[in-house]
Structures are given as C-alpha cells and as structure tokens.
Structure 1
C-alpha cells in the first residue's frame, strides 16, 4: 500500500459521458472512458454519478461477477432483472445487485411524465470475493436511521455489520456508510487503509491527519493510510463513505 495520502477530486473535474436522457460523471476509468492511472481506489472500481431524465435509462444489459450498489439522491429509479425481480429505489433506500455467474437487468427513470425531475443517483461497483455465485438482489429503506444525522451502514460484507440496517455485500473487507448530517454536525469516519468520501450534497470540511480540505457537492476525497478522519458539515449535507480494508493488488 502506498504511503499516507489525501487525494481530493473535484466533481467539476470528473469525466462526463452522455447518452439520450442520461448524463454520467465518472470518478474512475469506465467503459469507453479511460484515464491511465485512474482505474480504482481500494476495492472500488466504479463510482458514477448519474442524472436520468423521465422516460430514459439503461435498457436490458448483462453483468457478471460484479457487486453493484445504487444510492438514489432524488427521484425514483425502476429496476428489473432476468430472474423476474423488479422494484423502485427512491431517496433513503439502498439497492445491491450481485451479478454472480451472470444476470441481465435494466434501470430506468420510474416516471415518463416529462415534467418530472431527473433521477439523481450514485452507482458503485466492486469485485466480489467469490466469482460465479448465484445472482441476487436486495434493497432496504434506511430513511428512519438517516434521520438521526449519523453514519448508517448502507452495504457491508463485514461480519460486524451482519445485523445492521444495510444490504449484504459479497466483499468481506468493504462497507458503505451514508449520512445526512445537519449543518454543524461532525462525523468521525471509519478508519481503514482505504477510505473514499463522496459529498453528494452540501458543503463540508474534511480533516485527516495534518490535512484540512473543503468539499462541495460532487467532490470526493480518496484517503490512503490517512488514519483517523472527521467530516464537519458546513450546511445540511449528504455523504457516502466507503471503508475498505484491502485494495486491488495488495499482497
């Protein structure tokens, strides 16, 4: 693992790809977008921020051996898969799809009314610990837990989080925490070799060791061996924090 580092990535600097009714901002190389040296952080392979217009979305397409976690910030996202499962994700609910040995699914704005607001979501991909498992899907509503303003386990493969409110993840050394801190609230972030902090809305200050950085909506910080860290909301905010205890390629 490299030495201690805090790497801030401004949301405005993210690469953008577009399709009819869809705008996506990429944290890492993804699909046809390739940035040498920017392929992942820890175990996180994709961290895409999407805005999808009414009537638009991703038609049925395949996945294999990927853990996909979806968090909706605004609007409603409808999903369906080749195993007959379907549902709608809205703000405060987390979805996890384990592609396993292979599955097809679609994700679209749940409304077709052109007057409806765009769906705004963040989707994150990781490689599962065990390939070729049975595909699966799970979603949970975390709205009540989020109302307290602290960090809530949204998705985790860690044993300590088995009875938590979030969905189970097929990655034993990773967990996603989400919070909606009110202005002035300070959150103590999970300490791990790799931490990814994405400020989805609002403004906040991040303190990690000797580093003090300001984050705005859409900005992210990649912490590597940074030790204890804390985030203070300067406005009402929403933050997604990945805690990862190993990285791709670690011995």
Structure 2
C-alpha cells in the first residue's frame, strides 16, 4: 500500500524569521490523520533567515536528525558540542536523558534550508550523543543511518535505517521493500514515479505491506530520503 502525502497539504508555520512545512503534526499544527508513521515522528522542511535560529531549548528521549539542503547550521549543545553543519551533511543527536541545544543560521546574509527529522527511540535515558558526517553523492541508495553503525553510518537508537536516494532523469531503481517493514520516502528535488504514483518535490509516501516497488526518475535530478522503519 502506498499513501501519498502531498507537499501542498502539509502544515505550515511562519514566524517571520522561520518558514516551515510540517509533514506530521508539530507545534501549533495538529492533524490526527498525520501524527507520524511507525517510529518516524517529525519531518519539518525549514527555511531560516540569515543570522536567525532556534534559541536554546531542551529534548529528551528522541533521535533528532538534521540534513542541510542550503547554507550552514551553527550548533551548540549542553554536552559541549560546538559544530558547524554545512549543506550535504547529516547530523544525528540522541537526546537520551536530556540535552539542551541551539541551532542558528551560520550566515549573516544567506538563507538556511534544512530538514529536521525526529525518530522515536527504542532505548530510553542514557547519555546524550552527537554524530555528524558527510556521505558521498553516489547514484542510487546510500545508507547513512543504521541501528549498528555499519559501514561508517551514523548509529541510531531504533530499529530504523535512513538512506539517501540520488537518481538522474530516467533512472530506474527497484526499492528494497518487504511486507514485514514500513517505509517512507520524502522527495526533496525532482519528480519520481513509485509503482505508477507520481511524486513532486516535497511530497512524502507512506509504504506498508509492499513486496515490490519500482522508482522511476521522471524528472531529474532526484534527491530523496528513504526510511526503513519497524
């Protein structure tokens, strides 16, 4: 089964310095039909003005992923991490028993665009953790996050995997699905056809009880995130 979440139907938040589109209920946006999918709780598509950002705030027992599309994030947290996250890199912060952090646009003139993703963990408490890495821009699926940190991936506290999907126009790929798992595809750029269902940039697809899934890049280049979930 494939259930499409159109970009235009996402929740919208605007605070002057921040414009955000919410794939699932978040903050002031509430839709009981879109509370998350499996362990995936949040996908926020954020645009942050120059020199603006999120002041220090706290999290607990959540796996928080940031993926920068344009610009750079200036990150600071209560565990002592002071980092800059440039476009193309993935950041995974395990909140554990509790952590405070701030995220700002590191530029005084350029806009920041990034995806903020929350995944509910299957381990609670414990010390917070911070990981950051750039992965090669190779065609097809590139695993970036896994439960065991295999092959240099970032390690998450959940039976979940995140891959980067890159395709050129007209590329075709058989997606690795099984009826026993749940999958979610978030399309960042391009146009993609999934078993005849056409997706535009910003669209998401909930995929469950699926044994075959063919993806065709009908307009490229295609960039997407592929979630393999319990």
TM-score between both structures, scaled by the size of structure 2 = 0.94
Choose which of 96, 116, 123 in structure 2 pairs with 1:123. 116
Counterpart selection for 1:17 from 6, 13, 19? 13
Pairing partner for 1:198 from 162, 181, 186:
186
CA contact (8 A) 1:71 1:91 kept: yes
Residue correspondence of structure 1 range 88-167 to structure 2 within 5 A:
88-113=84-109, 116=110, 118-142=111-135, 145-146=136-137, 148-157=138-147, 159=148, 162-167=149-154
Gap change, CA 1:236 and 1:9, over 3 Å in 2: same
Deviation for aligned residue 1:103: 0.4
What is the CA distance between 1:35 and its match in structure 2? 0.7
Deviations, residues 90-137 of structure 1 (Å, cap 9, x unaligned): 222110000000000011111112xx2x21111111111111110010
Partners of 2:189 and 2:85 lie apart in 1 by: 19
CA distance in structure 2 between the partners assigned to 1:106 and 1:21 by the alignment: 15
1:226 Cα shift? 1.8
Q: How many residues end up aligned between the 2 structures? A: 227
Partner SS state of residue 221, structure 2: coil
Q: Which has the higher strand share?
A: 2
Asked if the contact 2:39–2:121 (Cα under 8 Å) also holds between the matched residues in 1, the reply is no
| Structure 2: gaps of 5 or more residues | none
Q: Distance in 1 between matches of 2:55 and 2:92?
A: 18
Q: Considering only aligned residues, what root-mean-square deviation do their CA atoms show, in Å?
A: 1.3
Between the aligned partners of 2:9 and 2:150, the Cα distance in structure 1 is 38
Structure 1 alignment gaps of length 5 or more: 247-251
2:198 matched to which residue of 1? 214
Distance 2:211 2:222 in 1: 23
Aligned residue among 204, 207, 210 for 1:226: 210
